[in-house]
Amino acid sequence: MDDALKWQNRQKFDRRKRWSAKQSSLTQTLFTYSASQFIFASLLFLAGGVANFYRASRMHH
């Protein structure tokens, strides 16, 4: 009974691993790429906002 259960769990795990290996390489790459692009754009936007604020406050005084 125990051995059969172990074997069943191993089969389930293998199937899941195979699916995720086939699936994840492309999806993971795309997700990582888009996430890094988003972070980079956010940092640029923040830097631009800070620079703009600094310039505006300097012009004001």
Per-residue model confidence (pLDDT) at position 30: 94
Per-residue model confidence (pLDDT) at position 56: 94
Alpha-carbon span 11 to 18, nearest angstrom: 11
Average pLDDT over residues 55-61: 87
Alpha-carbon span 57 to 33, nearest angstrom: 36
**What is the DSSP annotation of 1-61?**
-HHHHHHHHHHHHHHHHHHHHHHHHHHHHHHHHHHHHHHHHHHHHHHHHHHHHHHHHHHH-
pTM (2 decimals)?
A: 0.52
